[in-house]
Structure 1
Amino acid sequence: MQIRGALWTTMALFLSLGAPVSASASDLPPVLEDIIGRSLGLAQLAQLALANDDAAAQAARLRLRAAGPEGLRAFERAHEAALTAAYDAVLAAAEAPQDRRDPAGLADPARARLLAALDTVCGQRDCLLSRLYWHTDLDEAVRTARREGKPVLSLRLLGDLRDELSCANSRFFRALLYPDPAVRALLRDRFVLHWASERAAPKITIDLGDGRQVVTTITGNSAHFVLDAGGRPVDVVPGLYAPAEFVAALQRAEDLARRTAVLAGDDLRDALADHHEARVRALDESFKSQAITAGQRVSPPPRAARPGALEPRAGQAAPLAISKMAVEAPLLGATGEPVDRVAERWERIADVTAPSIALSRASLGLVRTQQWRSGDTSRDAADRSAAIVALRRTLALDTLRNEQEIHREIHGWWARGATAPADLQSLVRRVYDELFMTPARDPWLGLADPTSYGGLVGGGRRSQAHL
């Protein structure tokens, strides 16, 4: 198509008004009839999604997204060669020379435009590595699940999965989990995907006073909620796991969701109780084996102290997500929030399990493209190697604690004699209130401590009208 200027804008306006993708010629503005004939199909929208006119391109991207996974497939078909080249470039970036500033060519304007369009259609940042379609309307996700006979995987996070500065755990999901081939295949083929934001992701900016800044998020956690095809919750996979363990947890939850989808009443409660009680027993055996391998005494795993009626502090919540704590702990300290230590027994077991954690080439390539560089090639290479070793260790700690501590408590909610929330929103609220220690009732997310004095009016906390 060689259409420019006002014509693109007219087409963008027409598309944004919500006309059907297969509108007939009589529905189109006359100026468009001779150009697109009797219909504007997904293939044409996929081409239009990369138009030089931003308004037209964005309108086409949104129409593709509204078409669901088929819209994503249409975009993939139209731009498969360019997407494959971009993906291969990220894989190659894992071994690229350390002095290359843009090893995957992601700053190239044409490639950046391609990936921005893909992210819009997917509903997820960094979608190149996963090609996953995420619903943001839960009702639509459940309708799709019923139609396809699949469970729903509903991700709850702080912030927006389409933004770079969504919460740290969701960024790790995009970088370390979703690009993994086994994770990607399982999510794409076996689940209907949905995400929703629990609240905005708190951001912190350190201004060094000379034009340099460090900008990141702070505190918060994420979880994947597994629902049967009718939208009823059956399990929660809390926080970050290593890819292989994440696949195993989701496979168990998928099997449970499929087995219980046709049950109701006492039959459903008994089936859920049987599964979750069996998982607690399996976790007991697993922890004993891990403890023996690490040379630890065989005794129940350590549990995090819960704040009870008091408002939880951000420093108490931080160790519940080890990988993001590695980034956030110094920043929490700067705000006057001391960070609780991780139990030594967890650390010793993680030291044994960390070397076996496998990260995909896609993940390693993305890490390489995002790595901060000093400009000293040898130093940057050493820093990158150290970062990957540390990342594997924090992944091992996260996996261990999330499964043995947090997931264990969730299993207990469904056990006989316990009361598990029957609806998704109640379950989400309980996870965030009781397990992640970030209750909705605290607008400051544990970052405003009236017992800590820092020489600043109001402790440096301010409220501004948000339009």
Structure 2
Amino acid sequence: MFLALGVPAPDAGASVSPPVLEDRYSTTQAPGPLATTNAAVLEHTLGQARGLAALARLAVADDEGIAQAARARLRARGPEGLRAFERAHEPALTAALDALLAAAEAPMDRRDPAGLRDPARARLLDALDQLCGQRDCLASRLYWHTDLDEAVRTSRREGKPVLSLRLLGDLRDELSCANSRFFRALLYPDPAVRALLRDRFVLHWSSERPAPKITIDLGDGRQVVTTITGNSAHFVLDAAGRPVDVVPGLHAPAEFLAALQRAEALARRTAILAGPALRDALAAHHEARARDLDASFALMVGSAGRRPLPRGARPGPDLPRAGQAAPLAIGKMDVEAPLLRAIGEPVDPLTSRYDRIAELAAPAIVLSRASLGLLRTQQWRSGDAVRDAADLTATLDGLRRTLALDTLRNEQEIHREIHEWWARGADAPRDLSTLVRRVYDDLFLTPARDPWLGLADPKTYGGLVGGGRRTHAHL
């Protein structure tokens, strides 16, 4: 068995690409935009398209060059281009969504209940994802800016706050960091979350750094490819582009919705303020939220019949290890901890501070039908329908528990510390870049100054040259 880490080099602009696994879009991939269409024919074809509706039809053309060029032009028109595509393909998109929703109750066999391997549907969903700027966009239909300045300009024009997602990797890729994959599957498809994001925010995402990938090669043609380490957060900015709050990590859908609603109200309330008035308003809000969290935690502890445990101590000034960062995102830790241990990286044990509370909260977590359908289409299956159905039940039970744990940890520890930054006034970050850096350095334990993300320990010997770490050039 061979195990390889795709960790970017210190000055690399992208991570080492893993081998391509079976992908729902593989039937429509082509060598390049102009592989089957020369530039003159392409320009003539697009020149004949009158309006966005015509471009929307060309976006699913069999000719990959024409399709990609049409998608690029629609994407450049922003949400208007996305809406034109939706109007042009509404019957097909509705059928695809209905199939995804039906997959939530489909048998656990090797069939493709959502029809994702159908070439025409794959081409349609590929185009939709490119226009949204997000993979698996069918259920959410959200438009994500990738230019922060453009997002802020839109925010000012529309009078909406900006929700800026920071992640490892690319939100359009299957192998973006684990938490961003959970966002796409569990949060954005939720009807209430989707409506709030679409109607009340201008959406933006940015990659902090490439997502490290790990490949386990079983030596017989079979591979396991996944990401390892990293965390994500949603930063809320007012219409002037000033940060007012952060929703760190993964939350259960209802708690994520509530956190965004509070942050949106704060952003709108403080948008007209500046100077000391703004600092005082932010400090008052975050101080009140810290008190509310303490009070709610006391009630939860009482209901669970447990005495409060002290909050975990932060690591010292040395570069944190990947095994220290892993427990900060419990959902992805379930996937990553065995892999970290396999490469000799010890993982800090989880505190039992929230276990009993999470056990009580987990059964009440509601996942949307769209999320359940997407989860079923992605779930690995052995081919034994009875076993796979039992595995799915266990998966959902475990997922609800980790969502409950993640929500508690993120709110009671990470978000509470962020509230304290603003409550102390002078300690509050004054701009977005400083805030992002501080969240990743101090709270997520993945500082930018460590190019290896805690995965290269010079104090550990493994019998390999350079500890098995390699640096590759990226063109």
Aligned to 2:156: 146
Computing the radius of gyration from Cα coordinates, the structure with the larger value is 1
In 1, distance between residues paired with 2:428 and 2:55?
45
Match of 2:75 among 59, 65, 69: 65
Match of 1:422 among 418, 421, 430: 430
**SS of the residue 1:345 aligns to:** coil
Task: Report the CA distance between 1:52 and its aligned residue.
Answer: 1.1
User: Which letter maps to 1:343?
Assistant: T
Q: Deviations over 1:406-458 (max 9, x none)?
A: 00000011013441111111100000000000000000000011122222221
Contact 2:104 2:369 in 1 (8 A): yes
Q: Deviations over 1:374-417 (max 9, x none)?
A: 11111101000000000000000000000000000000110134
Assess, with a 3 A threshold, how the Cα gap between structure 1 residues 32 and 280 changes in structure 2: closer, same or farther: closer
Aligned to 2:292: 282
Structure 1 spans left out of the alignment, 5+ residues = 15-28
**Range that drifts further, 416-425 or 198-207:** 416-425
Q: Does residue 355 of structure 2 align to residue 354 of structure 1?
A: no
**Percent of paired sites with the same residue:** 79
Q: TM-score, normalised by structure 1?
A: 0.92
Q: Which runs of 4+ in 1 moved over 2 A?
A: 5-14, 301-305
**SS of the residue 1:344 aligns to:** coil
Q: Does residue 454 of structure 2 align to residue 446 of structure 1?
A: yes
Contact 2:110 2:383 in 1 (8 A): no
Match of 1:365 among 370, 373, 388: 373
Aligned to 1:118: 128
Contact 2:35 2:65 in 1 (8 A): no
In 2, distance between residues paired with 1:255 and 1:323?
29
Match of 1:88 among 81, 87, 98: 98
Aligned to 1:323: 331
Contact 1:12 1:59 in 2 (8 A): no
User: Which letter maps to 1:69?
Assistant: P
Considering Cα pairs closer than 8 Å and 6+ residues apart, tell me whether 1 or 2 has the greater RCO.
2
Task: Report the CA distance between 1:348 and its aligned residue.
Answer: 1.5
Aligned to 1:406: 414
In 2, distance between residues paired with 1:108 and 1:131?
20
In 2, distance between residues paired with 1:68 and 1:12?
26
Assess, with a 3 A threshold, how the Cα gap between structure 1 residues 80 and 12 changes in structure 2: closer, same or farther: farther
**What are the equivalent positions in structure 2 for 1:23-172 lying under 5 Å apart?**
35-36=48-49, 40-172=50-182
Contact 2:110 2:381 in 1 (8 A): no
Aligned to 1:240: 250
Q: Deviations over 1:47-79 (max 9, x none)?
A: 010111111100111111110111110000000
**SS of the residue 1:393 aligns to:** helix
Task: Report the CA distance between 1:10 and its aligned residue.
Answer: 4.6
**What are the equivalent positions in structure 2 for 1:280-319 lying under 5 Å apart?**
280-297=290-307, 299=308, 302-319=310-327
Contact 2:235 2:245 in 1 (8 A): yes
Task: Report the CA distance between 1:101 and its aligned residue.
Answer: 2.8
In 2, distance between residues paired with 1:139 and 1:13?
31
**SS of the residue 2:316 aligns to:** coil
Match of 1:337 among 345, 356, 371: 345
User: In angstroms, what is the RMSD of aligned CA positions?
Assistant: 1.6
Aligned to 1:252: 262
Q: How many residues align?
A: 442
User: Which letter maps to 2:449?
Assistant: R
**SS of the residue 1:224 aligns to:** strand
Match of 1:192 among 162, 177, 202: 202
Aligned to 2:24: none
Q: Deviations over 1:1-40 (max 9, x none)?
A: xxxx9996557753xxxxxxxxxxxxxx6x877x55xxx2
**Range that drifts further, 100-109 or 171-180:** 100-109
Task: Report the CA distance between 1:314 and its aligned residue.
Answer: 0.4
Contact 2:46 2:70 in 1 (8 A): no
Contact 1:12 1:55 in 2 (8 A): no
Aligned to 2:16: none
